[in-house]
Amino acid sequence: MKQDSLAYAAELLLCCLAIAPPGIAQTTPAPDKPTQTPTLQITTNLVAVSAIVRDQSGAPIANLTPADLLLKEDGKPQTIRYFSQGSSLPLTLALMVDTSGSQRAYIRDEIAAGKAFFPAMLTRPTDRAVLVQFDSSIVQLAHLTNSVPTLEHALAYLTQSHNDLNAYSTGGGTLLFDAICAVSHIDLGNQIGRRAMVILTDGGDNGSTFDQKQAIEAAQRANFTIYSVYYSDGGGDIDALTKISNATGGRVFTVSSKMTLQKIFTEIAADMRLEYEIGYVPPKSKPGKHHKIALTATNKSYTIQAREGYFTPN
C-alpha cells in the first residue's frame, strides 16, 4: 500500500478510537508544573532509539555511557548525540487488549492486573497512557491521560462489544494489525520520550486492512516499542508477535501458571525504568526510505534489545 493510502486509512481507523464508554470523564488534565525532566523535542531530524542492555543472565544493566555502545545505520558508524537513562524521560504507554472471542476468558485477570499496572507505570505528571480494546472493531476506552483513576475506571468497560459477539458467531475478526497502526497515529504532540505498546492477545489477526509489515512500519515511524503478551491455550500466532516485538525493540511474554500477567507487568515496568534513550543525526536520505539500525555493546557479553530500523520522515 502506498504511503498516501497508509496515512488515509490510518485516519479512518482513528475515527474508531473516538468513542469512550459512558461514565468516563473526558476532562482536560491540569497543566503540568515545570520540572527538570530532560525532554527531547522535535527540532531536528534526530533519530531516537530506545534500548535495554542486558548481562549474560538477562538482567538489565544501568549506568552505562555512550562510550559503552556502538551504533550503526545501514552498516555505517553513527555518532550518539543524545543519551539518557530512560527513567528520567516521560513515558507514553498504550495498553491494548484483544477482546475477541478467543480472549474472553482472560478479561477478568486483565482488569485486575491493569489496576496495578497503571499506578506502577505512571509515576510522574508527564507520564501518560491510553487504553484500547480491539476485536472486530477498535475502541479507545480512555484517551491519552496521566490520570490513573480515569484509566482504572475505563478498565471496567473492557469487554466484548455487541458487534464482536455477532461477528464471532459467524467467523468474526480480530483487527490486531489495524489496532497497532491506529495507536501509532495518535497525536502525541512534539514531546519524545519513552513510548511503548503493551498488547494482550493470542497474536491472531483476521480482517485487518493493514498487514504485519505495515503494522511494524507504523510502530517504527512513531518510535513505539511493542511488548507482546501471548495469552492463549495454544492457538493464535506467537511467531507474528515475536516478529513485531523484535522489530520494534520489545519482548514477547507468554502467560502461564509460573509467569502470571502480574509478573509480566512487573518485568515490563522494570525494563522501562532501565531503558536508555539514544539519539543520533542520520545521513540525508529520501523520504520514506527504510534504514537498518544496529546497536551493540563494546562488552561482547552484553546483549541489546532495540528496534531494528526506522523510516525517513516525509
pLDDT value of residue 273 = 80
The bridge status of strand 252-254 relative to strand 225-230 is parallel
Residue 172 lies in a domain: yes
- Let me know if residue 36 belongs to a domain: no
Q: What is the structure's pLDDT at 170?
A: 32
Residue 212 lies in a domain: yes
Q: Is the pTM of this model over 0.85?
A: no
Average pLDDT over residues 220-240: 88
Same domain, 129 and 204: yes
**pLDDT at residue number 22:** 34
Per-residue model confidence (pLDDT) at position 282:
92
Asked if residue 260 and residue 124 are part of one domain, the reply reads yes
* pLDDT confidence tier of residue 30, bands split at 50, 70 and 90: very low
In a domain, 32, yes or no: no
Q: Are residues 150 and 59 in the same domain?
A: no
- Model confidence over 80-109: pLDDT tens digits? 998 987 667 788 999 999 988 878 888 888
> Residue 95 maps to which CATH number?
3.40.50.410
Identify whether residues 72 and 221 lie together within a single domain.
no
State whether 307 and 255 are in the same domain.
no
| Same domain membership, residue 130 and residue 68 | no
- Same domain, residue pair 53 and 189: no
Task: Flag whether pLDDT at 173 surpasses 60.
Answer: yes
Indicate if 178 and 299 belong to the same structural domain.
no
Average pLDDT over residues 279-296: 91
CB 294 within 8 A of CB 71: yes
**For 46-73, what is each residue's pLDDT tens digit?**
888 888 999 998 888 888 999 999 999 9
pLDDT winner (highest mean) among 8-17, 156-165, 235-244 = 235-244
Is the residue at 27 inside a domain? Answer: no
- Predicted local confidence at residue 240, as pLDDT: 94
Q: Which domain covers residue 56, as residue numbers? A: 42-84+287-311
Q: What is the 3-state secondary structure (H, E, C) of the chain?
A: CCHHHHHHHHHHHHHHCCCCCCCCCCCCCCCCCCCCCCCEECCCCCEEEEEEEECCCCCECCCCCHHHEEEEECCEECCCCEEEEHHHCCEEEEEEEECCHHHHHHHHHHHHHHHHHHHHHCCCCCCEEEEEEECCCEEEEEEEECCHHHHHHHHCCCCCCHHHHHHHHCCCCECHHHHHHHHHCCCCCCEECEEEEEEEECCCCECCCCCHHHHHHHHHHCCCEEEEEECCCCCCCHHHHHHHHHHECCCEEECCCCCCHHHHHHHHHHHHHCCEEEEECCCCCCCCCEEEEEEEECCCCCEEEEECEEECCC
Q: Is there a domain that residue 62 lies in?
A: yes
Please write the tens of the pLDDT for every residue from 117-147: 999 899 888 899 999 999 888 999 999 999 9
Alpha-carbon gap, residue 9 to 280, rounded angstroms: 31
Domain shared by 201 and 304, yes or no: no
Query: Which residues 6+ apart lie within 8 Å of 165 measured at CB?
Result: 101
pLDDT at 35 over 50: no
In a domain, 33, yes or no: no
pLDDT band for position 313 (cuts 50, 70, 90): confident
Least confident of 38-47, 135-144, 238-247: 38-47
The structural domain count of the chain equals 2
Tell whether the model's pLDDT for residue 179 goes beyond 80: yes
- Please tell me whether residues 199 and 76 are part of one structural domain: no
Please check whether residue 29 lies inside any domain of the structure. Answer: no
- Residues 25-38 have a mean pLDDT of 38
Domain identity same for 200 and 162? yes
212 and 78, same structural domain? no
